Structure 1
């Protein structure tokens, strides 16, 4: 086929792919779906043997391999590299695209990932994903399927594709953050009671369907007003924030730690018997009691809490009843011994 006809066909293919990409990316705000669409279109247009999409970490000092396609992909997915490390790190740091025909002789090239997956990088293109001047990540293509290295035309095509991709990734990340804020207590970073109600509805239905148990642990900090009166509101606030961090570190994967309100907290424990939930509540009681709060501020505050435990279906079969019962159980401890655990 004559060279000019090949160029015309490629141009038509590019326009079709860009149109498809624009339509697809405006149809979803789910980040994983956005990345999947980008992956499909990159492979369709430029046909690299290997390619990866790296996103800048929250600290802005490193990049994480979010998508990787080709040989040795499983060994690299999720790994990170420092800003400035390797070709991708250089592109993220400078915000400039790079076409390298002989990677092995380029001083910026990092062989660490080739060694990890027994792969040899020859030619590559790396372009930044930029939105409003901020680098969100990098798309990197390695070794063409067809003979020869990548070209300036390939780099230009990838830059155009990256413009669409960066806008979609930015919008998806914003949406993800809005969703996170809607279900999170902004002071402790635990889940909020709104999310507890929604999740409890879903988990109760799951428990009914599969004949499983479900437990709630409800606790309230003892004498918290005394802490505030003695040390002030700022110390009280910082104590609750640190308590949130301690609680997050102690719950199991799959449990839902919640700031219910004020100095009240809940742990939703799906697929958990009341006996196991009582044991966990006792573990929680001991660990929180032993923890020295605000030690970095030189205060070394120790607190206790009162704990109630209730379970579905033994204590209640609906959300409101279960919450009322576990609340009442906790208050039995609060009004008697404090610093204790009781089951409904």
Structure 2
């Protein structure tokens, strides 16, 4: 509601800044907004008009027909510019009637469709047209004193006469203007249209309707004008020339553009809001954290129309922000980024717990640093993910796709904050589900994931890798001579060894890696966002750590590594890892194959 009130205030300011009389009418024909010029034109004040039917401003004999015309117009509302349509009359508060020219422009807001009516009292113009015929003297007075431009040309469009208003409009001296050809005062794109108007209207009917075109000024600027052209005949009744009143409509065009921009902005914000509201229906059903992260990134990227988005989660042990998912960032950045609280933009937002909008990073008072080459624009948004005043993480967006507006706005910040609030609740739900699922997915003996969870997680990571084109590796580990160790030192020691191996696996791998007990003394690790060289490094660390394990006797383990290919499926990936492990076992103890 606050937003609607703000929109009305903006509209009222725009309407009041316009010299023409402007009235906004709803679908029922009731007056919703009135500008100051309209008050002066009709003799009413705003309070007397607001909420009243528009027919209060129509002469009594015309009201019934006006209601019918209004309903017909609303069947297919479209812009109707000044001079287009019927000859109309307006009724003032004092019951006096005046001729009027009306332009109509539909405006869609969150309250519905409204019609902006531009009303010009053309009493003076009507009288002027009549007096021009009746009296040369009166014509000269109007000619010299008119605020609009006046121009007289021959049938080849050479200037024969003009008033000072027209001269000032184009910025030339009198001598320069007489020498100016039609092509030099009118842009080429209007030539064909004006020839057609002269041929089909002026020569046949004696005058044209009011139409719009542009003039070229002396300084090279282009000004929009509206005019109506009349035919001048000689004593023999043959066409001798044409004359026209020319009105500079620069301000009107500016106001129309502002109104259109406002209308486009309202539509865009409405569309974004609808998208955000639709998120709630989908996000509440996502209970797996990785899928939830991908969904939040995808929606934030779509709605805000950005190229880069990252979701970072806080590691409770190191108190560092780690990238859990991202779009537009390289794998190297995703894996290596670790931000402490208070450092960089995300760290500052996490520490303060408040969202941050940066219009230009190079001139921002808080950040003020040179923009990095990886970013196309200098504007950033960063919003903390909080639940019950507890920090969960941070979402960052950058590189707005719009070529016209590259800076983020307060509205963008509000939209992202709405998305994050829904994401925080969904993350909490996902965490609850993870705790419940723990009882059925964790091996109670080693306290790592069991085979059931391994199959489910592998399917999910394969789908994720296929969808986003991310690397994925699977590692299979088998303890060498475990049966001998178990028989020699007893089953309790064998159980203890399995727990220690599980501990080493979890300690060596990342938080995002998925460590599972496959069967007996076999273990598997799913490595999201990991290519073969990175997996080989981890395998080397594992073999060294297992060799130095403090147990009853020295142990080793063989490792097989498989890299996921787009054409593979779960069965193929497991088979490749098992075959690699088989080759490692065949080579000897403590071997690694891929």
Task: Please report the TM-score for the alignment, with normalisation by the length of structure 2.
Answer: 0.36
Is the counterpart of residue 137 in structure 1 residue 390 in structure 2?
Answer: no
Match of 1:267 among 522, 542, 546: 522
**Contact kept in structure 1, 2:449 and 2:516, CA below 8 Å:** yes
Partner of 1:123: 379
CA gap 1:191/1:138 in 2 versus in 1, 3 angstroms: closer
Partner of 1:16: 274
Matched ranges for 1:185-224 at <5 A: 185=443, 188-192=446-450, 219=483, 220=486, 222-224=488-490
**Contact kept in structure 1, 2:355 and 2:383, CA below 8 Å:** yes
Partner of 1:151: 409
CA gap 1:138/1:222 in 2 versus in 1, 3 angstroms: same
CA deviation after TM superposition for structure 1 residue 28, in Å: 2.1
Match of 1:87 among 332, 335, 345: 345
**In structure 1, C-alpha distance between the alignment counterparts of 2:325 and 2:425, rounded to whole Å:** 17
Is the counterpart of residue 77 in structure 1 residue 334 in structure 2?
Answer: yes
Q: How far does the alpha carbon of each residue in 1:69-117 deviate from its partner, in whole angstroms, 9 at most, with x for none?
A: 23x54442233222221111111112111111121244754979x65x6
RMSD (CA atoms)? 4.4
Match of 2:321 among 39, 50, 63: 63
**Contact kept in structure 1, 2:515 and 2:523, CA below 8 Å:** yes
CA deviation after TM superposition for structure 1 residue 292, in Å: 6.1
CA gap 1:14/1:241 in 2 versus in 1, 3 angstroms: same
CA deviation after TM superposition for structure 1 residue 120, in Å: 5.1
Partner of 1:161: 419
CA gap 1:110/1:57 in 2 versus in 1, 3 angstroms: farther
Match of 1:182 among 440, 462, 468: 440
CA deviation after TM superposition for structure 1 residue 52, in Å: 1.9
Partner of 1:302: 552
**In structure 1, C-alpha distance between the alignment counterparts of 2:293 and 2:324, rounded to whole Å:** 8
Q: How far does the alpha carbon of each residue in 1:158-190 deviate from its partner, in whole angstroms, 9 at most, with x for none?
A: 111110111122222333344345332456434
Instruction: Give the number of aligned pairs.
Output: 253
Matched ranges for 1:281-300 at <5 A: 293=550
CA deviation after TM superposition for structure 1 residue 14, in Å: 2.8
SS of 1:104 mapped into structure 2: coil
Partner of 1:29: 287
**Contact kept in structure 2, 1:52 and 1:140, CA below 8 Å:** yes
**Contact kept in structure 1, 2:359 and 2:408, CA below 8 Å:** yes
**Contact kept in structure 2, 1:85 and 1:110, CA below 8 Å:** no
CA gap 1:108/1:18 in 2 versus in 1, 3 angstroms: same
CA deviation after TM superposition for structure 1 residue 239, in Å: 7.4
**Contact kept in structure 2, 1:127 and 1:159, CA below 8 Å:** yes
Give the structure, 1 or 2, with the largest relative contact order (CA under 8 Å, sep 6 or more): 1
Partner of 2:503: 245
**In structure 2, C-alpha distance between the alignment counterparts of 1:269 and 1:102, rounded to whole Å:** 47
CA gap 1:188/1:45 in 2 versus in 1, 3 angstroms: same
**In structure 2, C-alpha distance between the alignment counterparts of 1:269 and 1:45, rounded to whole Å:** 39
CA gap 1:268/1:53 in 2 versus in 1, 3 angstroms: closer
SS of 2:407 mapped into structure 1: coil
133-142 vs 26-35, greater mean Cα deviation: 26-35
CA gap 1:108/1:174 in 2 versus in 1, 3 angstroms: farther
SS of 1:138 mapped into structure 2: strand
**In structure 2, C-alpha distance between the alignment counterparts of 1:77 and 1:92, rounded to whole Å:** 18
**In structure 1, C-alpha distance between the alignment counterparts of 2:412 and 2:514, rounded to whole Å:** 45
SS of 2:362 mapped into structure 1: helix
**Contact kept in structure 1, 2:375 and 2:399, CA below 8 Å:** no
CA gap 1:190/1:30 in 2 versus in 1, 3 angstroms: closer
CA deviation after TM superposition for structure 1 residue 46, in Å: 1.6
CA deviation after TM superposition for structure 1 residue 192, in Å: 5.0
**In structure 2, C-alpha distance between the alignment counterparts of 1:268 and 1:222, rounded to whole Å:** 22
